[in-house]
Structures are given as structure tokens and as C-alpha cells.
Homo-oligomer: A and B are copies of this chain.
Amino acid sequence: MPKLEFWYDFASSYSYLAAMRIDALAEAAGVDIAYRPFLLGPIFKAQGLTTSPFVANPAKGNYMARDIARISALRGMAFHVPEPFPAHSLAAARIGMVAEEEGWISPFTRAVFATEFADRADIAAPETLTRIVSQLGHDPARVMARTGVDEVKSALRARTEAAASKGIFGAPTFITEDGELFWGDDRLEDALAWATGTCKRPA
């Protein structure tokens, strides 16, 4: 089965749109999704930004909120810009690294995004993350202990460095096995079509 990598930051609003539909679309297309949580912060910092482009550029931020509200309405989803925005996503990303290794990254990712953008809870709060992990049937104490070890911290750093070296500049980004990058929830269908070889290649 062809593979597609799904690179995202838990604070990314357009990644929320992609996360809530990628498994269903991938299953229909016959594609295996590899979840790749990473941190956008160091990527934006290398671009000379100290925060999200949606905060640095208020016109773009206003547009993002409206654009996602429109798309969410079409898809029958809730959407609110969380407070604060962007959320501090480091703790969720470290749990994501553990969840990826242990095989529960897909439901964890949807739970975090729904909590953040539909329920508008702060995903940086330990009690929020503890509740999510617990509801997925995992022992929060064990999982939280794992996120504090150097191995997990450095795996997330390496993941984020890998994102930069692959040419990722925003999220969500989808990468095919032959290295093709697709940026944005609105390119998910194209990425799946490329992965399955049903998309016309440029010369």
C-alpha cells in the first residue's frame, strides 16, 4: 500500500482541518498515513518570525479564521480560534512522539485537535492532556513520565530538524514516498492522488 506522510503541529489551525478527515480519505484511496508531529516554532524562527504568521500578519490571521469557519461549516465541523492562539504545543507534541511509537497517534491527534479547535480548551494544560490520554485508554502517569525522558525530547528535536531539511515551511504538509511535497489541507486530495499514481505528473 502506498504511504503518505502527514506533517503537522498541534497548534496549526489548517492541520486541524486535515487531521479530522485524513484517515477516512486515505482509507478510501488505499493509502497508509504516517503521522509526523513536529514543531513549527523553529521553522518560523528560521523565517525571521517570532510567532505564527497569523499573528504577525493580522489581515492574514483574520482571513484564516473566516476561511476555516467557512470550510468547517461546509464539513459540518465546529471551529473556534483558541485562546491563546497559537496554543503552546510542545507538551502535546512530546506525547505525540510517544503515541506514534506505541501506535495510538491517529486517535490522539484527532482528540487533541478537537479539544483545541472545537471545544476551545488549552492543550498546554496538563489536566487537558491527562484527560485525553486517559480517555484513549492509556495510563497518563506512565505516558507523562515517558515524555520527560531525553530520548523523546531529542526525537522531537530531530523530527523538527527533519521537517526543515525536507523543505517544510508550514503545516499541514503531506510528503509522498517519492518526495513530493503538498502544503495545506486543500492539497490533501492531490497528495493522495499523487501517492496512488492517479495524478498527472508535470514534465
Indicate the size class of the contact surface on chain A.
Answer: 20 to 34
Knowing A167-B59, A169-B57, the reply to whether A203 touches B73 (Cβ < 8 A) is yes
A186 at the interface (CB under 8 A from B): yes
- When C-beta atoms are compared, the residue in chain B nearest to A183 turns out to be B63
Binds B, one of A64-72, A117-125, A133-141, A142-150: A64-72
Residues of B within 8 A of A199 (CB): 70, 74
Residues of B within 8 A of A203 (CB): 73
- Are the C-beta atoms of B181 and A66 separated by less than 8 Å? yes
A202 at the interface (CB under 8 A from B): yes
- Are the C-beta atoms of A73 and B202 separated by less than 8 Å? yes
The 6 closest A-B pairs by CB, nearest first: A73-B202, A59-B169, A69-B202, A60-B169, A59-B167, A186-B186
25 contacts between A and B (CB under 8 A): A47-B57, A57-B169, A59-B167, A59-B168, A59-B169, A60-B169, A60-B170, A62-B167, A63-B167, A63-B169, A63-B183, A66-B180, A66-B181, A67-B183, A67-B187, A69-B202, A70-B190, A70-B199, A70-B201, A73-B201, A73-B202, A73-B203, A74-B199, A74-B200, A186-B186
